Structure 1
Amino acid sequence: NHERLCVKGRYGFDYVHHPDRLTKPLIRRKDAPKTIELLQPKDWQKVFREATWEEALDFAADGFSKIRDENGPDALAAFGCAKGSNEEAYLLQKLVRTGFGTNNIDHCTRLCHASSVSALLEGIGSGAVSNPFTDVTDAEVIFLIGANPIGNHPVAATFMKNAVKAGKKLILLDPRRTALSRHATYNLQFRPDTDVALLNSLMHVIIKEKLCDEKYITEHTTDFEKLKSNVADYSPEKVAPICGIPEETLREVARTYATAESAIILWGMGISQHIHGTDNSRCLIALSLMTGQIGRPGTGLHPLRGQNNVQGTSDMGLIPMFFPDYKSVTDPENKKWFEDFWGTSLNPKTGLTVVEIVDAVHSGGVRGMYVQGENPAMSDPNLNHARGALSMLEHLVVQDIFLTETAGFADVIFPASAFPEKSGTFTNSNRQVQLGRQAIDPPGNARQDWWIIQEVARRLGVDWSYDGPEEIFSEIRKATPSMAGITWKRLQKEHSVTYPCNKEGDPGEAIVFRKGFPTANKKARFVPAKYTHADEMPDEEFPFVFITSRQLEHWHTGSMTRRATVLNAIEPYPVVHVHPDDLQKLGVEPGEAVTIESRRGKISTYSRQDPGVQQGNLFMSFGYNEAAANLITTSVLDPFGKIPEVKFCAVRMSAGGNPEMRIG
């Protein structure tokens, strides 16, 4: 990050000393039945009792063993943590695959960029970024869509603002007018859900005006004619009424991007969190390929990742369809290699994703879960459904630093370590692997996450004896060829090392695809996308579009940042962003309470007047448990990336309401 910090890095670290920290293992009392209601942390003694580590570990492992032996390995599942280290993620997925005997392992990538990764793997053979976000300083044109970097990726935003000051052009596309819009050459505030139509229209113009890089297309891609045929129907004249952007603006933006010497595309979860999220990303990939804007400085494709190590945890195989380094679990050669490497037989079936696991609990297929550092009782869509599943589990083990909303449903709780209390490697959005060094000890009797996972594994019959993160990282290098050249000692000496780095001494590749793509024919593939609507459109009964978002001050479900003094002082209450005219129609003054209701749930929150929001749209962060936005959202999935559509659902809004007391 070039020594640049965001507000969380400056002011968000005192959560580690909060009195709510878990310091001892807890076991659920026999007289404490599970319900869908959330537990107040101050009432924990009514539900849990303290236990020794030996008792808690034995109890956790016995519960898993019983379910595995009686119902089969696929009756177990696990959620991992994108805030933890690569070593922790590697061990957890290895435990699930070798100890549980299933591929039912997933984490929050399924809720942020799974559709982007699906499209990238399909189109160019790699699920990571092609260029670092710092390449915006080398780009003539920056094409940013479905992202709010000032709020969600503040460090990246500083480079974008620096680039604009240096004369670069910023094309900003988003249904909401964000703070970065004042720096934009073009600000396209399009209608939500019309991404594919808009992007196909840009490609239509580029092809019709012969602005494609024909040489690049011929030498480095396949299936261009399929794409050309598909976008022929998306003229600016047809698309302008759909997306709400004037046809001449569509033409100007297409020309600006296509004729640039270098242009980079960056996107956020406004692209990925739709049932057409994979199609959205397919369009961005095609836009880059057809103009040859990839494989050079200042070009390429960069999905801005959602958590500090979501890139690394995905690389480690914390996903149900891939072993480490994105090796398919259904490929016989990959399966044989990992069976030999780990010394055990492996399940040949693709596992279940986050939402599929929740559905499987309701149907009786999944009976036990291990949740490490994840908070599905807040982060999953359609929370009444998700919390219902958590309450139904026969055996739930939660490993965390606080008694989160999810931990309240647990049978066993392991007190774990926060970031400054552990050593390990982390991989950021730029594919830069960095070493985190332990600065303080975990509080009380809390333990290192890798140690806890290993102790559970041992009790499940897996013979592990790692002595720490360095030894685990040495195994990761063997399991992950793209990181084989990165050593622990090198990370101790250097600021970071970028993968792919295949051999010791290699500098690492910040920019990839210079000479082709990691596919069988070394070529990228165009995949056409048709414009489709969201699963649930607004109607007379539910006339508003509800869009979840993140915010500068808080981190996802708020379990850490709402316990950070400065950050929580700035944004202590849940708010929904509403266009002034919509508030006026309801007779609501800014700051007054409103009630929002969908077909799945209802919340009360405070209103915030925001002229940057289009009329008929509502934007809200999902990190406040007293007004949990995901009680509203739908769990319908993108068919390819299996990501839920939390960026679009139909709701109604009324004046009044009483936001619940905060839990925690």
Structure 2
Amino acid sequence: MTNSIEEFETHSKVIFVIGSNTTACHPLIASRIIKAKENGAKLIVADPRNIQLSRYADFTVHQRLGSDVALLNGMMHIIIKNNWHDQAYIEQRCEDFEQLKETLHTYTPTMVEAITGIAKKDITKMAELYATQSPAALLYAMGITQHTTGVDNVKSCCNLAMLCGNVGVAGGGVNPLRGQNNVQGACDMGGLPNVFTGYQPVADPKAREKFSQAWDCELSDTPGMTITDMISAIEEGKIKGLYVIGENPKLSDPDKNHLDNAFKKLDFLITEDIFLTESAQIADVVFASASLGEREGTFTNTERRCMLTRKAVEPVGNALPDWEIISRFSTALGYEMNYDCPSDIFNEMTSLTKSYQGMSYQRLGIDGLQWPCPTPEHPGTPYLHKNIFTRGKGKFHAIDYKDPAELTCEDYPMLMTTGRMFAHFHTGTMTRVSTSLDSEQKTGYVEINPKDARRLNINTDDMILLTSRRGKIEAPARITDSVPPNNIFLPIHFGENPTNVLTSSTAFDPIAKIPEFKVGAVKIEKLIA
């Protein structure tokens, strides 16, 4: 996030939420949004489904699945046409505006209505609401990123925010809501295949030399593989062993049948987790990891806040904290890691990472610090790009709309989207072992619009068969106006009804390599008891 969560309440005049079921997936942030609304902020919600947050919105729209670029371009077309954009901000702080303006010229309300299904007057109204009151915060989640055009979607969000002067100000910004509690921290710590900590490229000779000296080994300048690339490499025999830490690809990765076939070709699979996940059940070796309350360390959350956690109890059985498992494993393989405690690792990391350089366990205290925090005297940074963008000038990207990889056809006449529901988290590794949470929802289900249910003679709890180009699953029906006609929604948490049987491993963003979990074509059939 460019900005801080508390700013939504204290500074934002408008909050625009697009592609985020915030109450279900980020309930604490949703509570801040609702309080901001109570304090007078205006709320705009754009989501293909009629989500709970829509009930609180001053204005809500339901765009067709995968049409986000067209919607955002249409809003910007109207903003420029009505001179609602911040011309002084653009001239002083941005570049490539004319290229953007030229592309936006064709995105008339008529054209955008045809693509998105949103009425012209509604596109105009939401554009006016966002552009004429500032600061305006834009929030998005995986409804924006999990597309073949995920990078385009994000750039379009940035275009809109800069167009109205909403980046580099308190209460504004472009704010991705991370899907898990330490996604931001994992990326910050080099958990991406092309960077060291703090997003220092492995291809940069200076960065590589710095880390090579610190770790006393010669490091490669070749980026590693993304998860999408790894599965293909396993099939091709280029990867023989896989080490999975805190992840459950058997449920979280697309095209489960394809994944299962790839995993069968592995010579060796290690998993490291706190519970015996579906992936751990097929592993050759399982390392028992200590849970949150059994270890010490840091997390960096969605607002870039690095926070310290303390061990409350000793690990159960032979479980160990992840840092110790990895250190022992590395030492056994021939590269010694002789850390005594997590603070040793943290101190090494801060010495190599400018954005964290001013942090220490002592400074983190209870509230933590937000990066960048470059010196021991620096208070941390509540919002980014104040006065000047990190790269100098903010760059506009001229983005054209592209269709999703899969559209409906005669054989697969319905569009499917996937996501989370309020009681469960990700693949249910933790929530489904909680009796109280699992009692809220014990099985997967299919949300279907009443019009489609009547047409297909489907009643609540009827078992239905869903078929895509990848495979088939069965699940009970849930009839609801939350999804529009000709669309269905499935939660991702349930191994009994694995949604990833239906999703595609070949449809992914060409840059970020994120699969298109949010759009897929399916066929529905009622199963006769």
With 604-613 and 442-451 compared, the bigger mean Cα shift is at: 442-451
- Could you list the structure 1 runs, at least 4 aligned residues long, displaced by more than 2 angstroms after superposition: none
**What residue is the counterpart of 1:432 in the other structure?**
305
**Matched residues in 2 for 1:445 and 1:239: separation?**
58
Which residue among 46, 50, 55 is the counterpart of 1:182? 55
SS in structure 1 of the partner of residue 496 of structure 2? helix
SS in structure 2 of the partner of residue 612 of structure 1? coil
**What residue is the counterpart of 2:194 in the other structure?**
321
8 Å Cα contact 2:293-2:313 kept in structure 1: yes
Which residue among 620, 625, 630 is the counterpart of 2:495? 625
**What residue is the counterpart of 1:390 in the other structure?**
263
SS in structure 2 of the partner of residue 650 of structure 1? strand
In the alignment, structure 1 residue 645 sits paired with structure 2 residue 487 = no
Percent sequence identity over matched residues?
38
In the alignment, structure 1 residue 285 sits paired with structure 2 residue 158 = yes
8 Å Cα contact 1:399-1:416 kept in structure 2: yes
**What residue is the counterpart of 1:296 in the other structure?**
169
**What residue is the counterpart of 1:483 in the other structure?**
356
**Matched residues in 2 for 1:442 and 1:602: separation?**
40
**What residue is the counterpart of 1:349 in the other structure?**
222
**What residue is the counterpart of 2:241 in the other structure?**
368
**Matched residues in 1 for 2:99 and 2:216: separation?**
45
Which residue among 571, 577, 592 is the counterpart of 2:441? 571
Give the AA of the match of 2:175: H
In the alignment, structure 1 residue 333 sits paired with structure 2 residue 169 = no
**Matched residues in 2 for 1:536 and 1:252: separation?**
30
In the alignment, structure 1 residue 166 sits paired with structure 2 residue 39 = yes
Give the AA of the match of 2:58: T
**Matched residues in 2 for 1:657 and 1:228: separation?**
55
SS in structure 2 of the partner of residue 325 of structure 1? helix
**Matched residues in 1 for 2:263 and 2:49: separation?**
34
SS in structure 1 of the partner of residue 348 of structure 2? helix
**What residue is the counterpart of 2:380 in the other structure?**
508
Which residue among 519, 526, 544 is the counterpart of 2:414? 544
Give the AA of the match of 1:503: T
SS in structure 2 of the partner of residue 540 of structure 1? coil
**What residue is the counterpart of 1:616 in the other structure?**
486
With 343-352 and 168-177 compared, the bigger mean Cα shift is at: 343-352
**Matched residues in 2 for 1:537 and 1:331: separation?**
41
**Matched residues in 1 for 2:164 and 2:398: separation?**
16
SS in structure 1 of the partner of residue 63 of structure 2? coil
**Matched residues in 2 for 1:555 and 1:628: separation?**
14
**What residue is the counterpart of 1:535 in the other structure?**
405
- The runs of 5 or more residues in structure 1 that have no matched partner are 1-128, 659-664
Cα deviation digits, residues 67-117 of structure 1 (max 9, x gap):
xxxxxxxxxxxxxxxxxxxxxxxxxxxxxxxxxxxxxxxxxxxxxxxxxxx
8 Å Cα contact 1:605-1:657 kept in structure 2: no
8 Å Cα contact 1:595-1:657 kept in structure 2: no
In the alignment, structure 1 residue 413 sits paired with structure 2 residue 257 = no
8 Å Cα contact 2:59-2:126 kept in structure 1: yes
**What residue is the counterpart of 2:5 in the other structure?**
133
Give the AA of the match of 1:139: S
In the alignment, structure 1 residue 460 sits paired with structure 2 residue 330 = no
In the alignment, structure 1 residue 144 sits paired with structure 2 residue 31 = no
Cα deviation digits, residues 468-518 of structure 1 (max 9, x gap):
111111111112211111111122x33221111111121101111112122
**Matched residues in 2 for 1:142 and 1:489: separation?**
35
Shift of 1:574: 1.0
Cα deviation digits, residues 360-408 of structure 1 (max 9, x gap):
1001111111111111111000111112222211111111122211112
**What residue is the counterpart of 1:88 in the other structure?**
none
**Matched residues in 2 for 1:244 and 1:189: separation?**
8
**Matched residues in 2 for 1:221 and 1:341: separation?**
38
**What residue is the counterpart of 1:655 in the other structure?**
526
SS in structure 2 of the partner of residue 322 of structure 1? coil
Give the AA of the match of 2:379: P
Shift of 1:139: 0.9
Shift of 1:449: 1.4
With 402-411 and 279-288 compared, the bigger mean Cα shift is at: 402-411
In the alignment, structure 1 residue 207 sits paired with structure 2 residue 207 = no
SS in structure 2 of the partner of residue 328 of structure 1? coil
**Matched residues in 2 for 1:250 and 1:581: separation?**
26
8 Å Cα contact 1:434-1:497 kept in structure 2: yes
Cα deviation digits, residues 277-331 of structure 1 (max 9, x gap):
1111111100011111111111111001000000000000011011110111112
**Matched residues in 2 for 1:254 and 1:402: separation?**
47
8 Å Cα contact 1:296-1:514 kept in structure 2: yes
In the alignment, structure 1 residue 153 sits paired with structure 2 residue 26 = yes
8 Å Cα contact 1:432-1:497 kept in structure 2: yes
Give the AA of the match of 2:415: V
Shift of 1:657: 7.3
Equivalences for 1:213-252 in 2 at 5 Å?
213-252=86-125
**Cα distance change on mapping 1:657 and 1:530 into 2, 3 Å:** farther
SS in structure 2 of the partner of residue 305 of structure 1? coil
**Matched residues in 2 for 1:337 and 1:224: separation?**
38
Give the AA of the match of 2:146: Q
Relative contact order, higher structure (CA 8 A, sep 6+) = 1
Cα deviation digits, residues 112-156 of structure 1 (max 9, x gap):
xxxxxxxxxxxxxxxxx1102322221111111000111000000
SS in structure 1 of the partner of residue 43 of structure 2? strand
**Matched residues in 2 for 1:502 and 1:325: separation?**
12
**Matched residues in 1 for 2:466 and 2:6: separation?**
39
SS in structure 2 of the partner of residue 618 of structure 1? strand
**Matched residues in 1 for 2:419 and 2:523: separation?**
18
8 Å Cα contact 1:391-1:409 kept in structure 2: no
TM-score by length of structure 2 reads 0.98
**What residue is the counterpart of 1:494 in the other structure?**
366
SS in structure 2 of the partner of residue 130 of structure 1? coil
**Matched residues in 1 for 2:367 and 2:85: separation?**
39
Give the AA of the match of 1:544: M
8 Å Cα contact 1:604-1:657 kept in structure 2: no
**Matched residues in 2 for 1:269 and 1:451: separation?**
32
**What residue is the counterpart of 2:504 in the other structure?**
634
**Matched residues in 2 for 1:423 and 1:391: separation?**
36
**Matched residues in 1 for 2:495 and 2:459: separation?**
24
**Matched residues in 2 for 1:379 and 1:421: separation?**
26
8 Å Cα contact 2:443-2:497 kept in structure 1: no
8 Å Cα contact 2:148-2:508 kept in structure 1: yes
**Matched residues in 1 for 2:283 and 2:259: separation?**
14
